[in-house]
Amino acid sequence: MLLVLGSAFIYGGLVNAKREQVFSKAVASVNSGLLMAVMGLLFPAVLHATHTELHFGKSELALSRFSSLCCLSIFSAEESATTT
């Protein structure tokens, strides 16, 4: 995430050398939420595809539930921050 953001700042500085760059907090919040959602879907799928589970089926389910709870809590925190 930081590599992409840093690359965007460098590229924006090269292209728009005469103008000031603007960083939108709302867009960053949406992007971080999407990143968490993708990671929440990707981690259990990679665990299933690589067959590296300690207990077949149980660790995948636990990781899936944990990542979904993380995404839900982050989403609710972002929603409460934007409404106040």
pTM over 0.85: no
Which pLDDT band, with edges at 50, 70 and 90, does 57 fall under? low
Instruction: Report helix angle 25-50 to 58-83, nearest 10.
Output: 170
- pLDDT score at 55: 67
Q: What is the pLDDT of residue 69?
A: 84
For residue 74, what is the enclosing H or E element?
helix 58-83
